[in-house]
């Protein structure tokens, strides 16, 4: 069975495919499947609601089982912000540099021990029969005072995962990042639930 990936974010698409394919789940982008997906307006107030909106929308438009995720950063000192607004925190969707600038400014006077945060990912797989699977993964850590590393995307340069020896997510290689990432954790749960349905490698 081939699953459609409902995302226009090229880096996220690469990461989703990189994690899912070794689990025995074949994936295609909309372009590969010859499908034109409408941009879904992320009107949900939770990661789960937005993931469902994107997966169900992609499934309805393509007729294929569709995997989508919604993810973001929750910072304790900011009351859980930026949360579902992570990609557009600074007002312009997907401008990673401005989002990080705003975050660092908001935390400028917050000391080291109070900069705890987590990356959260909710993954949803929607099927043409109307059924869906929803999972959630979390990676805990803290926000650094400045950027470090050149890998990853989003807030990776300022997010320091617990147990990473003080290195930012952007300083880890793909294998190291995948081993601890919120997206990996959500997708592994998704793969397990798919196997329980008789899909993918056991």
Helix (H, G, I), strand (E, B) or coil at 31: helix
CATH architecture of 2-196: Alpha-Beta Complex (3.90)
Asked whether residue 10 carries a pLDDT value surpassing 80, the answer given is no
Long-range contacts of 83-87 (CB under 8 A, 24+ apart): 84/42, 84/44, 84/45, 84/46, 84/47, 84/50, 86/154, 86/155, 87/154
Asked whether residue 22 carries a pLDDT value surpassing 90, the answer given is no
Specify whether the CB–CB gap between 69 and 8 falls below 8 A. no
pLDDT at 201: 57
Mean pLDDT of 18-44: 83
Domain extents for the chain?
2-196
pLDDT at 101: 98
106 vs 198, residue with greater confidence: 106
pLDDT at 41: 84
Over residues 47-56, the pLDDT tens digits come to 999 999 999 9
Phi-psi region of 122 (alpha: psi -120 to 50; beta: other; left: phi over 0): beta
Confidence of residue 80 (pLDDT cuts 50, 70, 90): very high
Specify whether the CB–CB gap between 60 and 130 falls below 8 A. no
Q: Which helix (H) or strand (E) holds 27?
A: strand 26-28
Specify whether the CB–CB gap between 184 and 19 falls below 8 A. yes
Q: Which residues are catalytic?
A: 70
What percent of the chain shows pLDDT beyond 70? 99
Helix (H, G, I), strand (E, B) or coil at 147: coil
pLDDT at 21: 78
pTM over 0.95: no
Query: Torsion over CA of 17, 19, 21 and 26, rounded to 10 degrees?
Result: -50
Instruction: Kindly give the residue spans of alpha helices, DSSP state H, lying in 1-44.
Output: 10-20, 30-33
pLDDT at 14: 78
**Lowest mean pLDDT: which of 27-36, 71-80, 94-103?**
27-36
For residues 79-93, one letter each, b for 16 or more C-beta atoms within 10 angstroms of the residue's C-beta and e for the rest, the string is eebbbbebbebbeee
Asked whether residue 26 carries a pLDDT value surpassing 90, the answer given is no
**Measured CA distances, 181 to 6, 49, 82, 156, 185 (Å):** 19, 21, 18, 11, 6
Helix (H, G, I), strand (E, B) or coil at 120: strand
Confidence of residue 7 (pLDDT cuts 50, 70, 90): confident
160 vs 12, residue with greater confidence: 160
Parallel/antiparallel/unpaired status of strands 159-161 and 132-143: antiparallel
Among candidate residues 166, 165, 161, the one with its CA nearest the CA of residue 180: 161
pLDDT at 147: 97
């Amino acid at each position: 069975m081939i699953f459609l990936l409902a995302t226009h974010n090229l880096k996220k698409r690469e990461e989703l495919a990189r994690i899912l394919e070794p689990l025995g789940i074949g994936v295609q982008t909309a372009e590969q499947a010859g499908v034109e997906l409408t941009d879904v307006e992320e009107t949900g107030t939770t990661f789960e609601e937005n993931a469902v909106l994107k997966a169900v929308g992609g499934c309805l438009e393509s007729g294929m089982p569709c995997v989508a995720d919604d993810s973001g950063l929750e910072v304790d000192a900011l009351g859980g912000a930026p949360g579902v607004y992570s990609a557009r925190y600074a007002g312009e969707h997907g401008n990673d540099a401005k989002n990080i600038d705003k975050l660092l400014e908001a935390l400028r006077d917050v000391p080291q021990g109070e900069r705890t945060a987590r990356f959260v990912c909710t993954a949803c797989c929607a099927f043409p029969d109307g059924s869906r699977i929803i999972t959630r993964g979390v990676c805990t850590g803290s926000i650094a005072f400045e950027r470090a590393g050149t890998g990853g995307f989003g807030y990776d340069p300022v997010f320091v995962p617990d147990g990473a020896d003080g290195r930012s997510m952007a300083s880890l290689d793909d294998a190291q990042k995948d081993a601890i990432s919120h997206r990996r954790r959500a997708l592994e749960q998704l793969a397990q639930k798919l196997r329980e349905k008789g899909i993918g490698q056991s």
